[in-house]
A and B are shown apart, each in its own frame.
Chain A
């Protein structure tokens, strides 16, 4: 007897409570509010949120997701946008969103203080997304595991060494922007045909194409792989965490990502979004990255570059063509070519 009563009473109460407590809750739309999708690490997102709230009194609702997830969500919500600003995360999805008209153009008064690459990102996207930080692609190796191999890779070419068979890890470009950056970098360094030859040769040394771009850095720190290709700042995070890992800036030169920021089209808190946009480009805001253990290079010229960050001046950077390699047609072509010609090769 008690059972069924309990059961039904609970059910009824639950239904009632669900209806009452939820239907009226949700995203904030009042004045002085901001809904932000944040594409970097949690600490950094939180630091930005609280600092901006303290500075302006605007209440920020922040959701952290990977930049691919944010893009998918912004696209799905296009008919009735929930977010106001999309801050951080690699530039490709931002460019894609700009191409598909999911974001709006805005010219910040702070634009003049930015590095050239950040402004170029803004121009290439027809003023719809701006660079907030950048990080170079590179690789690293586990200093303990490398001893037995008798090699110290310094260049992209060194990674083809047969001694490193099954010892290199990189993400799958289909799932990770990091790895797509590698694909585009190699092609821009060597030309498309030679580039694909290189990737095919590299395939023999790859032990796993991971899903997430930063995974090789972690696997390296844990000793699961000897060499990992990733963004250098992700590897630096492992070094700061005292993992036996060394970061390498490839001698031939390398590509880079531009972490970006866009205002969502149809944002319900446009004024707050613009306020945040301007604020996020100031040195004070950009300093927060290093404090949150993220060592990207900030885009404002006046922001102190964190001492741990890989010095962009000491890295040979290629002139990365974001417009070409960020366009969805070129991306689809290269990815399916990679799928057919590289990924399916026997080891």
Chain B
């Protein structure tokens, strides 16, 4: 038996017999004796919480392999104890709630109200984790995954986390799609809601009526996915394959939108293109083009989503473009193919995983986007805003929200399936251990031209948008009164010097600190879990892999509002009672943003030849060591991408957290939404500017900490000048 197994057995006992089993009443700080042993599961169990005592049995079972380590039945004891332990914890957790029995059957049988218990605490969490890991160790010992405990444990942990933080809350809310207002089962109501004409109507094709919201969403999603993939590709090609002089600037420009809080791009577009916007005024005065409201509706949402999501496509594609080995292209040219032919028949097909992933992300992001349609949607309705207002609007119909979420989920999963079908089983490996010339071929002229023609105007447009945002924070009232002022910043971020030190009296500090803390904690967790999952998906073969992959995408596909409400429904009551804490915010972000880590990890990993890992394994390294020393260094672009993305997302997400924030953990975005609602655009923009600066600094720091990937002599970035901000290698 390995030392790790023994260690986990000890931890399991510590969780049960030493640490407090339940969470604490938050206002009452525990004394040391309460914290150690005094309120452990064992002690409470002996004092009357009899439902905790059966857990002793699997823990005792674990002692047998611990005492006679070389027994042949080791695997069986570990698996048995693991399964039994997890089951017991689950059963007692879900059947006994805050107010007694949770199931009507139990109430009827044992009488009401029955025993009560609070949410689980450190002890319960540790014991459950130990049962889970030991179960995985047991399975490995029985020969699963070639007996590799690291792999089985990783799979076990990721699956358990996804079940707890994705499937459990999501199924709670989706169940409400099949119920009426009072929680009774009503499938006919579901069908009525599902087939509603406001969802599926096709009236816009035949007359000037409106089409159903589902078609709107789908149409917008496909447009945005095409647009972002094309723009992202143009930027990626310019950044890696040309000698363009302002590459760094281009990169900064392409990354800015991703770090912009929601609403701000929408506001800037209104201030630019709205009926009284700056550009509309110029067009009217110079060319006599009448002012109109064209920006409200599909065009506005499309432009703002392009601005917002092109960077994601860029982040995915640049890793892929950069990873393409010049060898194949050189071979093609040696065989006398023209550079255009080479590009179309060699380079482009090799980018397929990247293109497919970028497309998928663009599509899914557009579907889940909430801020832009809210500000610019006009009468063009999409599912995400519909869902939000089904929950909070005048109808207050949670069942309807659930039905709409199911449709949204269906679209996302359809896209996921299509992507798989398109990629097929082809091989895209280009990073191998073999040497190559290392210098990528220049782009064929028309591709270069096309890239320049799309990327440069777009970059200029982005500059204009950001100029407006920058100015907006420093003038009294954008669009009406351009007197320069620092008032907005002072209101939000005033710092006073009191006798006892600095006093942060600005109204935004509170939410600012909470946001930075939550973002900084969730980013590394997201990257770690995301990349681990990507590694398991591409490098390991196990049954249920597709289901596993699907599970990781699920939380991304579900709109933030639904996630927010479902987290409250699921985590406000025992056994897992974490609402009102910062922990729930961190978990929400980790599992919402993890798919980006997974996607970019998969895109990068599918390029790296397995023979590299195999060489390492053949030389005797364990898979953990292989991952650490071979895979991770090659994954740097993906690490940066997922760290940056999750940090940024945690700072800019709105709809998911709007239900999860509390007075103590208020988030910057909910504060900004409040400002926008109150019409204080100046303050909102000023706060957003500060957030943008913070995120830029964080990106530089991440870049600096992770470092660049070096592949042979292929240079990732032409120069090593550290001043430019690169969200990518």
Using a CB–CB distance below 8 Å, which chain A residues touch chain B?
Answer: 2-4, 6-8, 10-11, 14-15, 17-19, 21-30, 33, 35, 41-43, 46, 60-66, 68-69, 71-73, 75-77, 79-80, 82, 92-93, 96, 166, 172-177, 179-180, 207-209, 211-212, 214, 217-218, 221-225, 237-238, 241-243, 328, 331-332, 335, 339, 343-347
Map CB proximity to A onto B353-392 as digits: 1 under 8 Å, 0 otherwise: 0000000000000000000001001110000010001011
CA distance A7 to B198 in the complex (A): 49
The 4 closest A-B pairs by CB, nearest first: A223-B276, A68-B392, A61-B663, A22-B583
Given contacts A18-B525, A42-B675, A208-B293, contact A71 B586 (CB under 8 A): no
**Residues of B170-188 contacting chain A, CB below 8 A:** 181
**Residues of B290-322 contacting chain A, CB below 8 A:** 293, 296
Residues of B within 8 A of A331 (CB): 394-395
CA distance A346 to B209 in the complex (A): 5
Map CB proximity to A onto B656-677 as digits: 1 under 8 Å, 0 otherwise: 0011011111100011001101
6 extra interface residue pairs, beta carbon distance < 8 Å, beyond A68-B393, A174-B389, A175-B394? A26-B580, A68-B394, A73-B659, A79-B573, A172-B393, A217-B679
| Cross-chain contact B208 with A346 (CB below 8 angstroms) | yes
Given contacts A174-B393, A331-B394, contact A24 B24 (CB under 8 A): yes
Residues of B within 8 A of A179 (CB): 394
| Cross-chain contact A18 with B583 (CB below 8 angstroms) | yes
| Cross-chain contact B395 with A14 (CB below 8 angstroms) | no
Given contacts A209-B379, A218-B679, A238-B679, contact A7 B581 (CB under 8 A): no
| Cross-chain contact B583 with A166 (CB below 8 angstroms) | no
Residues of A within 8 A of B275 (CB): 223-225
CA distance A2 to B208 in the complex (A): 62
| Cross-chain contact A344 with B679 (CB below 8 angstroms) | no
Residues of B within 8 A of A173 (CB): 394
Q: Which of B68-76, B332-340, B632-640 lies at the interface with chain A?
A: B632-640
| Cross-chain contact B706 with A21 (CB below 8 angstroms) | no
Please tell me which one of the listed residues A92, A93, A214, A328 contacts residue B677 in the complex, with CB atoms under 8 A apart: A214
Given contacts A18-B525, A65-B658, A223-B275, contact A328 B583 (CB under 8 A): no
Residues of B within 8 A of A332 (CB): 395, 397
Given contacts A79-B98, A223-B275, contact A28 B26 (CB under 8 A): yes
Using a CB–CB distance below 8 Å, which chain B residues touch chain A?
Answer: 23-28, 98-99, 121-122, 181, 198, 201, 203, 207-210, 270, 274-276, 293, 296, 374, 377-379, 385, 389, 391-398, 477, 479-481, 507, 520-521, 523-525, 527-528, 565, 568-569, 572-573, 577-583, 586, 628-629, 632-633, 636, 639, 658-659, 661-666, 670-671, 674-675, 677-679, 705-707
Q: List 6 A-B contacts (CB under 8 A).
A: A10-B524, A18-B525, A22-B581, A30-B27, A69-B392, A344-B198
CA distance A332 to B525 in the complex (A): 44
Residues of B within 8 A of A11 (CB): 524-525, 527-528
Residues of B within 8 A of A61 (CB): 662-664
CA distance A209 to B572 in the complex (A): 35
Please tell me which one of the listed residues A62, A176, A328, A339 contacts residue B396 in the complex, with CB atoms under 8 A apart: A328
CA distance A6 to B524 in the complex (A): 11
| Cross-chain contact A71 with B394 (CB below 8 angstroms) | no
| Cross-chain contact B674 with A176 (CB below 8 angstroms) | no
Residues of A within 8 A of B659 (CB): 69, 72-73, 76
